[in-house]
Amino acid sequence: MFYDHQQIEKKWQKYWEDNQTYKTSNNTDKPKFYVLDMFPYPSGAGLHVGHPLGYIASDIYARYKRHQGFNVLHPVGYDSFGLPAEQYAIQTGTHPAITTEQNITRYEQQLRKIGFSFDWSREVRTSDASYYKWTQWIFIELFNSWYNKDTDQAASIETLIKHFEEKGTEGVNANQNEELNFTAEEWKSASEIDKEDILLNYRLSFRAETTVNWCPALGTVLANDEIKDGKSERGGFPVFQKKMMQWSMRISAYSERLLQGLKTLDWPQPLKDSQEYWIGKSQGAQVRFLVDEQEANNQQATANNSIEVFTTRPDTIFGATFMVLAPENPLVENITTAEQKAEVDSYIEETSKKTERDRMADVKNVSGAFTGSYAINPFSGEKMPIYISDYVLMGYGTGAVMAVPAHDERDHRFAKKFNLEIKKVVENDEDVQEKSFDSKDSVCVNSGFLNGLNYNEAKSKIIAEIENKGIGHGTTNYRQRDAIFSRQRYWGEPVPIYYKEGMPYTLPTSALPLELPEVEKYLPTEDGDPPLGNAKTFAWDEANQKVVETDLIDNKTVFPLELSTMPGWAGSSWYFLRYMDPNNDEVFAKKELSDYWGQVDLYIGGSEHATGHLLYSRFWNMFLKDRGYINQDEPFQKLINQGMILGMSAFVYRIEGTNQFVSKNLINEHKTQAIHVDVSLLKGTSDELDTVAFKAWRPDYADAEFILEDGKYITGREVEKMSKSKYNVVNPDDICEEYGADGLRLYEMFLGPLEQSKPWNTQGLSGVYGFLKKFWNLHFNGEVFEVSDEEPTKAEYKVLHSLIKKVVYDIENFSFNTSVSSFMIAVNELQKLKCNKRNILEPLAVVISPYAPHICEELWSLMGKKESIEYVRFPILDEKYLEEDEIEYPISINGKTKFKISLSAQLSPKEVESLVLQNEKMEQILEGKTPKKIIVVPKRIVNIVI
Ligand code: ANZ
């Protein structure tokens, strides 16, 4: 019978939509299971076959869980704010909302064609005002919160204000920009503006002057994870350092919790490692070194001048022979002597041209300048010259180091260049750069009272002594910085803030959403304001609580609104919560529902989000937990990174300077240049170029000539990243057309282990399609559907139950590729057995349905079922069918296998023993003797000693 995949798939996709088969209820007594994909950015290019890989895996898992009786939440949505739609708007004038809408429509069509079991009714789009209303609301909540280190959680800013009113800053233990000191009286008598300014120092979303990564070509600030090798990730434009007033998020308050939380998560180790590295916890000490006043002959130099350093190796302090400050360190001015001033100034000037990234990357070329001053080593008492150098960064630790050239590579290089003393103070200290340096074998030497101690002992003892002397304390540093939150772009969430006397105030939450205004131009204004500065209606009327015309701004009743928008990661930091209650207009998600759905049980997505989305969303989730809106600290319990599907690029070879193209195996005879050609120009699944199509592809190839081999033009093939620019993308729509969505789904899984990257190679598709046809035909006798009610044989049951066992194991271990081969084996065996028994085929359809849902629904209904197959219980494995009838026992005599005997599996060891002894071959070996020992290992082996 013809397997008409096109008609079958259309029919079932319509059925699922009409019957809302995958709509998830919030009210059931079933246990819940939440399966989530990282939602896509709807780009103009549509989906290629690489995109659905993770979605297919999660869909299989979601369907499997439904078969097991879980209430499964498996939603989809779009991360629909972003740069490409805006760049397109700049080029063409088309409003990004229009482009985005079109792209989403295309995505939805493509996704629906693949037969995903999404609950489409829960779709979210981050660029919808009904969604970003809540992104803005979270921003305001962050603004109205501070981090209390005593309780180790965020709290309402009101609690801090109350504290200030009662005790001033005394006893405040907060994560803040800078340490402030004032009394309750001072607080109370401060002006409103001053109070606001003080509070900004503590708020979790705050404004501060920060050095940012400025990308002039994109006209915006970028986060560290949006930059690759000094260039913007999108577009590859150069990025510079610039000081700007920016909105930031106090993620640094959560560093320790983000680190500790990792331990509770079932995530790939490399992903956890990269978050750990990014957070960058270092334990050590902060120590003050006094500047030697006699040498510092600058006017301002006094004995109070001291340099505070952060060191992870206080055990090496006896070996600190000089100091190095970051060139930007404000102390530099105080301690530089008149003679050294010119040299120091010119070095500072030189450094300002380099980005922090360059400074960290360039480890070979040491440079620096002497300040002319000296510090005193508080332990060795020796004088240490003070230098400045760009390898010390102002933004880390205290912006100053005690240099230990014998044990630190950078300090060593510096000492060599400037001819400074190198004093070894630790033996067996080979790996000084290793963060995890913890050598039990290291021993302090030349270190006074530390001599003979190992690293840990020396570290505790010296920190105790530093604290005792009152010159410092043990401390922990984190590399992770606060996250810059402003983008000078149009297509993002407006920040719900207006400015009064230069101070930011939040809009009342009742006024949300603050909608993105219309603008005529998507570029910055002439004054250099972000694109929202072009809006005609974008000002805040405070009394009437509404947005009014920009011209009305008088800074008395009508105030300017914030002109920057939120970064790409804002909307994606909490979308998993919105799916729980997507249409609620009162709260972002009802507490009851976020309690019921809890954590995402399985999250599948790309590893490129390791230090962006996956850190930010953990941070926001922890914050919402602190403020009592949700119940769990961590959003994603289990996470899998799917590998990339690589493209098989195709090349033609042009003879240089001509329009002649040589077939692949003849290129040696010519000087050629390889040129990418679109893989859709190849004939079928072969490497042969359709030369007619090639000529029609581009005007420059219209008069191309070909040098053929055996009458064909053979292209070169190479595995590369799948990308539009390499002309190697394969559109899933074409595959669905030809082999069906079920074929595509099975094939994507069959390509290899989910986590691995693998090339897309269409040659195996026909094999998968062949399997589907065979599976289909098991149910037909010629053209007639025929399934028998006869009881299956043991052999038939064995095929079924072996498959159940395998597939359950595979799905639970996310080994989807091996299931597909098991389906093929099972169907081949059933075909050989000519099995068309209902008691085999019904459960078989259920087992295969998570992978190939359309064909299974069709067969299920042909077998007379009225309801969808989706909620039918997954067949239960019965081990009895797997037991062997006969066992082939190896007979081992004195440790060597001599022969084998087939015996019934039901026999007792005694019966096995006597049958073995009666065996003809055995009798020949024994020659009438009685064996010394016989050991029967049931169902395995018989050992005989003679
Ligand atoms: C003395 C020492 C001896 C150091 C030794 C290391 C090895 P992590 O692990 O990354 O936290 N350091 C401190 N602040 C710095 C800054 N602003 N710019 C550049 N380097 C800085 O690294 C901490 C170590 O890096 C500190 O410990 C300090 O050098 C240096 F055998 O102090 B160490």
In the predicted structure, residue 71 carries a pLDDT above the cut 90: yes
CA–CA gap between residue 80 and residue 66 (Å, rounded): 29
Residue that the structure tokens 């590729």 belong to: 817
For ligand 1, the distance from its centroid to the CA atom of residue 269, given in whole angstroms, is 26
Spatial CA neighbour of 738 closest among 148, 60, 2, 5: 5
Evaluate whether 443 touches 427 at the Cβ level (below 8 Å): yes
Report CA(400)–ligand 1 centroid distance (Å).
9
Q: How far is the CA of 309 from the centre of ligand 1 (A)?
A: 9
Please identify which residue in the block is written with the tokens 């500790």: 260
Q: Whose CA is nearest to atom 18 of ligand 1?
A: 392
Q: Measure 715 CA to ligand 1 centroid, in angstroms.
A: 54
Q: Probe ligand 1: pick from 311, 407, 410, max atoms within 8 Å of CB?
A: 311
Calculate how far, in angstroms, residue 796's C-alpha sits from the geometric centre of ligand 1. 68
pLDDT at 37 over 90: yes
Dist. CA 885–CA 906, nearest whole Å: 8
Mean pLDDT of 597-601: 97
Q: Is 889 helix (H, G, I), strand (E, B) or coil?
A: strand
For 529-585, what is each residue's pLDDT tens digit?
Answer: 899 999 999 999 999 999 999 999 999 999 999 999 999 999 999 999 999 999 999
| Other Cβ atoms closer than 10 A to 284 | 19
Query: Which residues have C-beta within 8 Å of that of residue 158, sequence separation ≥ 6?
Result: 144
> By C-alpha distance, which of 654, 397, 489 is closest to 86?
489
Handedness of CA 269, 274, 276, 282 (dihedral sign): positive
Residue 438, pLDDT score: 58
Instruction: Tell me the CA distances in angstroms from 640 to 280, 540, 632, one per residue in order.
Output: 23, 45, 20
Residue nearest to atom 19 of ligand 1 (CA): 392
Instruction: With CA atoms as reference, report the closest residue to 736 among 10, 4, 113, 46.
Output: 113
Alpha carbon distance 104, 92 (integer Å): 19
Calculate what percentage of the chain has a pLDDT beyond 70: 98
* Residues sharing a CB contact under 8 Å with residue 680, sequence separation 6 or more, in sequence order: none
**Helical axes 765-777 vs 816-832, angle rounded to 10°:** 40
Domains defined for the chain, CATH in brackets? 5-127+573-641 (3.40.50.620), 281-478 (3.90.740.10), 493-566 (no CATH), 645-721 (no CATH), 757-881 (1.10.730.10), 884-945 (3.10.20.590)
Measured CA to CA in angstroms, residue 107 lies from 20, 52, 525, 887 at distances of 20, 11, 34, 55
Beta strands in 38-169 (DSSP E): 71-73, 77-78, 124-125, 145-148, 153-156
Q: List strand residue ranges (DSSP E) for 149-272, in order.
A: 153-156, 205-215, 220-222, 227-228, 231-232, 240-249
Is residue 392 pLDDT above 70, yes or no?
A: yes
> Is the previous residue joined to 513 through a cis bond, with omega within 30 degrees of 0?
yes
What is the rounded CA–CA span in Å between residue 872 and residue 462? Answer: 67
pLDDT for residue 572: 97
Q: Which residues pair with 176 in a beta bridge?
A: none
- Under 8 Å between Cβ of 315 and 283: no
Q: Nearest 5°: CA angle at 484, between 478 and 485?
A: 140
Q: In this model, does residue 300 exceed pLDDT 70?
A: no
Q: What is the mean pLDDT of the chain?
A: 93
Known binding residues for ATP are 724
Ligand 1 environment, Cβ below 6 A: 282, 310-313, 316, 326, 391-393, 396-397, 399, 401-402, 404, 407-408, 432, 435, 477
pLDDT (0 to 100) of residue 459: 93
pTM for the whole structure = 0.87
Nearest CA to ligand 1 atom 31: 407
Looking up tokens 């002594």 gives 465
Number of helices (H) and strands (E), helices first, in the chain?
28, 40
Helices (H), 254-405: 255-261, 269-279, 331-335, 341-351, 356-361
Q: Is the dihedral of CA 620, 622, 624, 626 positive or negative?
A: negative
Atom of ligand 1 nearest to the CA of 403: 1
pLDDT-based confidence at residue 403 (cuts at 50, 70, 90): very high
Phi and psi at 804, nearest 5°, equal -55, -45
Q: Which atom of ligand 1 is nearest to the CA of 396?
A: 17
Helix (H, G, I), strand (E, B) or coil at 649: strand
Largest CA distance in the chain: 118
**Mean local confidence (pLDDT), 653-673:** 93
Q: What is the dihedral of CA 896, 900, 901, 903, to 10 degrees?
A: 90
Burial readout 468-504 (b: 16 or more C-beta within 10 A, e: otherwise): eeebbebbebbebbbbbbbbbbbbbbbbbbbbbeebb
435 pLDDT band (50/70/90 cuts)?
A: very low
Among 324, 390, 408, the mutation site with the greatest number of ligand 1 atoms within 8 A of its Cβ is 408
Output the pLDDT for position 433.
46
Q: Extract the annotated binding site.
A: 724
Atom of ligand 1 nearest to the CA of 426: 31
Neighbour count for residue 354 (Cβ, 10 Å):
15
pLDDT digits over 480-506, tens only? 999 999 999 999 999 999 999 999 999
- Asked if pLDDT for residue 451 goes beyond 50, the answer is yes
Least confident segment among 15-19, 49-53, 238-242, 731-735 = 238-242
**What is the C-alpha separation between 165 and 159, in angstroms, rounded?**
10
Q: 408 CA distance to ligand 1 centroid (A)? A: 8
Ligand 1 centroid–CA 798 distance in Å is 65
The span from the CA of 859 to the CA of 865, in Å, is: 9
Q: What is the mean pLDDT of residues 51-80?
A: 97
Q: What confidence tier does 230 reach under pLDDT thresholds 50, 70, 90?
A: confident
142-188 pLDDT, tens digit per residue, is 999 999 999 999 999 999 999 999 999 999 999 999 899 999 999 99
pLDDT at 437 over 80: no
Question: Averaged over 331-338, what is the pLDDT?
Answer: 93
Nearest of 668, 672, 738, 661 to residue 694 by alpha carbon: 661
Q: What is the pLDDT of residues 198-220, one digit of tens each?
A: 999 999 999 988 777 888 888 78
Position 430 scores a pLDDT of 61
pLDDT band at 767 (very low <50, low <70, confident <90, very high): very high
In this prediction, residue 402 has a pLDDT band, given cuts at 50, 70 and 90, of very high
pLDDT average, residue stretch 417-442 = 75
